[in-house]
Amino acid sequence: MRCNGGMTDAHQSFLDLLHTQRVWDVELPGFDPASAPPAPLPLFHRWFAEAVAAGQPEPHTMSLATVDAEGHPDVRTLMLHDADERGWHFATHRTSAKGHQLAARPYAALGFYWPAQGRQVRVRGPVTACTPAESSADLHARSTGALASALTGSQSEVLGSAEELARTADAAWERARAEPDAEVASWTRYVVEAWEVEFFQGDARRRHVRLRYRAQDAAWTRELLWP
């Protein structure tokens, strides 16, 4: 791996641009961990509502990290479908790369980043697939476009050409409109059961507040972490 050495003009202008970027050029809210509830879910709900109120774009998107059978990590962005007493829910094809990874290693980490308030939430724990009935309900609770996208299928497989996708996606749209109850066998709702949930509040002077909840003996332990 090359870390420095001959630098091209393109690389130099990339670095110039990179080094002018700022984080948290906004008034950040405070976070008093002493006022945090005993369990992480109500705090997640509260922070989510505050992210929406602060105008955070797409606060319901998150990074989902998984590992493959060899232990190599992978990550991608997904939509959050729910957060309840069971855990944090998302849905995808169990035949996708992440689906295969979860079948081999049923553990995941989620990351939410809400820069409007300098906040981050991390969730770690085991992942379980919901029942086929719950997965089907998830699929049909969403828009025609979402159903069409699920019907397109083959997620994470190598695509031969853009035309092939256009043909398949057009047919999937037709079918989604004509058959709103169409099933997609691979569509699966998953739940991440939280073993750990960390709330991070950024601070302009870098005295970030980190509060971690750890599930222990059916109760939650709360601890502060050095930033």
Ligand X SMILES: Cc1cc2nc3c(=O)[nH]c(=O)nc-3n(C[C@H](O)[C@H](O)[C@H](O)COP(=O)(O)O)c2cc1C
Binding site for ligand X (CB under 6 A): 61, 74, 76-79, 90-92, 96-98, 155-156
SS in 3 state form for 44-103? HHHHHHHHHHCCCCCCCEEEEEEECCCCCEEEEEEECCEEECCEEEEEEECCCHHHHHHH
Residue with tokens 């601890």: 223
CB nearer to ligand X: pick between 26 and 97: 97
CB nearer to ligand X: pick between 91 and 197: 91
CB nearer to ligand X: pick between 13 and 144: 144
CB of 89 vs ligand X, minimal distance in Å: 10
Of 213, 199, 214, give the one whose Cα is nearest residue 30.
199
CB of 217 vs ligand X, minimal distance in Å: 33
Report which secondary-structure segment, H or E, holds 209.
Answer: strand 209-216
Q: How far does Cα 27 stand from its chain's mean position?
A: 25
Of 179, 78, 90, 173, give the one whose Cα is nearest residue 134.
90
CB of 147 vs ligand X, minimal distance in Å: 13
CB nearer to ligand X: pick between 86 and 156: 156
CB of 212 vs ligand X, minimal distance in Å: 26
Q: How far apart are CA 88 and CA 193, in angstroms?
A: 7
CB nearer to ligand X: pick between 7 and 52: 52
CB nearer to ligand X: pick between 69 and 224: 69
Cross-strand pairs, 67: 73
Residue with tokens 């393109």: 10
CB of 99 vs ligand X, minimal distance in Å: 6
Q: How far apart are CA 107 and CA 127, in angstroms?
A: 5
CB of 41 vs ligand X, minimal distance in Å: 21
